[in-house]
């Protein structure tokens, strides 16, 4: 839901758009475009993220790397972020490369700050906290100091590149304090923030010793965007309980002399582009599809980073329960789980890998036959050009995170299906996508028996019902695509009036 090649992994792939296509706007986008006169391209677009996409590449792995790189190829702008090398010097030399009308600006980080800012505060504190996993939060004051230091350094390095009328779009939990740091550096441009992962309710957020500072920093943005209405409501509830911010209407808050917009902007995918990939299977994938067709075997597919938030052990247990309850399915159904590694230097990720591999071995050891392996487990990245036809050839898409910002795999699975004979999406109620994709079979990922029953329902669903559900899901995925997401957010940011003294040239 993005897999840039250099470790550590930049942004969770299930939480960002896979590409840009189409021009249809969401209802949210239409409203924002109407309010701002339909012009979401005032000035340059400056994108800031933890990692920078390769703007020269035509074959990005997906996610943010594709979703916004194409936009910068169409308009003047900058993409700014860490260069991904683990052995630099924080605040060191800035590298600038022009690609068409845009500039790719990358900066280094020291090993100490990679450990403290990225692996530490971002991924050992904020990631588990925002995914409701307080038991996995590893808070250390030094992590927060590194997190603040990196954001302050990024702001100092970015400020000289900014122009008066730039729109600055900051992405994800690594960079929550960046607007505050830019304001202190004298920047008065419109700055928006989009959170790709969930935002927790107040009673979970306050478990962080720095919760007040984080929310105060968020309020220095002009537009704060979330994946779901539930995430936006969580921030609004925190403000109502613990902040002097005054709510003006459903989405606008008065913060001192400024107005801040808080709204949902659900991410989409390049549905047309992903669907086109399904018709370009290489020989290896075609052989696999034909073999299953000859043997009359159906396939359940899951595609997730190996992350504790994805509910992978529960998913394997549900498949095992399905086989126990319906032995007639043995040798006729396989489960393919693609789970590429991520953040392997964080201890919790080693634990989930060991648990998953033990489960796969135990289930296969008990059920497998010489010509049937019930679970096929792939612990490496698989090219999207292979995943798309594999999804199309799978009769069930199994997408059951314990908590997820959006989960674009669900949307990709729908886009990949043959409308004449579509598969069935089994989707967690706790994925952000569930707020939109009502025609999927929604499940509680903590309830193993319910997931097993739902898998059986999906495998035995009549064609007419499969077509009806898929038609509605595909219509939504096609209309609410990645470009609609961008148009909605940038229209809101173009119309923002929150900054105190705008526009003003950033200091050089």
Question: Among all residues, which ones are annotated catalytic?
Answer: 196, 404
- Residues in Cβ contact with 118 at an 8 Å cutoff, skipping those fewer than 6 apart: 8, 50, 82, 109, 174
Q: Which of 210, 217, 125, 136 is nearest to 175 (CA)?
A: 217
Q: End-to-end distance of the chain based on CA atoms, in angstroms?
A: 37
Can you say how many angstroms the Cα of residue 222 is from the centroid of all Cα atoms in its chain?
A: 22
- SS3 per residue for 127-183: HHHHCCCHHHCCCCHHHHHHHHHHHHHHHHHHHHHCCCCCEEEEECHHHCCHHHHHH
What's the angle, vertex CA 243, arms to CA 172 and CA 497, rounded to 5? 60
Edge-to-edge, what's the strand order for the sheet holding 298-303?
375-378, 333-338, 298-303, 396-399, 424-428, 441-443
Q: How far apart are CA 250 and CA 264, in angstroms?
A: 11
Residues 172 and 11 sit within 8 Å (Cβ to Cβ): yes
- Residues in Cβ contact with 425 at an 8 Å cutoff, skipping those fewer than 6 apart: 396, 397, 399, 410, 413, 414, 437, 440, 441, 469, 473
Tokens representing residue 42 in the block = 């005032």
- SS3 per residue for 243-308: CCCEECCCCEEEECCEEEEEEECCCCCCHHHHHHHCCCCCHHHHHHHHHHHHHCCEEEEEECCCCH
DSSP 389: H
Residues 221 and 194 sit within 8 Å (Cβ to Cβ): no
96: number of Cβ within 10 Å: 11
Q: How far apart are CA 348 and CA 344, in angstroms?
A: 9
Q: Is omega for the bond preceding 127 within 30 degrees of 0, making it cis?
A: no
3-state secondary structure of 203: helix
């Amino acid at each position: 839901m993005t897999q840039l090649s250099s470790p550590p992994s930049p942004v969770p792939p299930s939480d960002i758009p896979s590409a840009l296509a189409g021009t249809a706007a969401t209802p949210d986008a239409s409203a924002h475009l109407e309010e701002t006169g339909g012009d979401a391209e005032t000035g340059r677009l400056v994108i800031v993220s933890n990692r920078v996409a390769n703007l020269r590449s035509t074959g990005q792995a997906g996610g943010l790397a594709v979703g916004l790189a194409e936009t910068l190829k169409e308009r003047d702008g900058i993409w700014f972020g860490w260069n991904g090398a683990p052995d630099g010097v924080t605040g060191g030399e800035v590298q600038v490369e022009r690609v068409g009308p845009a500039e790719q600006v990358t900066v280094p980080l020291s090993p100490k700050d990679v450990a403290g800012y990225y692996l530490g505060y971002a991924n050992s504190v904020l990631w588990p906290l925002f995914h409701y996993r307080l038991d996995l939060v590893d808070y250390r004051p030094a992590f927060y100091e590194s997190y603040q230091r990196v954001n302050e350094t990024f702001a100092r390095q970015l400020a000289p590149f900014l122009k008066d009328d730039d729109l600055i779009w900051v992405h994800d939990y690594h960079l929550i304090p960046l607007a505050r740091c830019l304001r202190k550096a004298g920047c008065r441009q419109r700055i928006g923030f989009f959170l790709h992962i969930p935002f927790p309710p107040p009673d979970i957020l306050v478990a962080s010793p720095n919760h007040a500072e984080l929310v105060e920093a968020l309020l220095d943005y002009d537009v704060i965007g979330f994946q779901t209405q539930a995430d936006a409501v969580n921030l609004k509830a925190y403000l109502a309980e613990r902040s002097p911010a005054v709510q003006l209407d459903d989405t606008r808050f008065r913060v001192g002399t400024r107005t801040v917009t808080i709204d949902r902007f659900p991410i989409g995918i390049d549905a047309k582009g992903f669907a086109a990939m399904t018709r370009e299977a290489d020989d290896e994938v075609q052989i696999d599809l034909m073999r299953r067709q000859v043997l009359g075997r159906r396939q359940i597919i899951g595609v997730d980073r190996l992350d504790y938030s994805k509910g992978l052990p529960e998913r394997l247990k549900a498949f095992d329960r399905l086989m126990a309850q319906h032995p007639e399915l043995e040798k006729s159904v396989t489960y393919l789980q693609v789970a590429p590694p991520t953040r392997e230097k964080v201890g919790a990720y080693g634990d989930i890998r060991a648990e998953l591999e033990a489960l796969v071995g135990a289930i296969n050891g008990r059920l497998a036959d010489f010509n049937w392996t019930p679970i096929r487990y792939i612990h490496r990245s698989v090219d999207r050009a292979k995943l798309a036809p594999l999804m199309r050839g799978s009769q069930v898409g199994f997408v059951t995170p314990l908590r997820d910002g959006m989960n674009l795999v669900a949307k990709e699975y729908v886009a990949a299906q043959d409308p004449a004979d579509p598969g069935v999406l089994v989707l967690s109620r706790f994925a952000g996508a569930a707020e939109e994709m009502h025609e999927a079979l929604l499940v509680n990922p903590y309830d193993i028996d319910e997931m097993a029953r739902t898998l059986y329902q999906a495998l035995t669903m009549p064609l007419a019902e499969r077509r009806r559900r898929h038609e509605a899901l595909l219509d939504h995925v096609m209309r609410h695509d990645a470009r609609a997401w961008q148009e909605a957010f940038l229209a809101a940011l173009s119309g923002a009036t929150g900054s105190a003294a705008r526009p003003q040239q950033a200091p050089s």
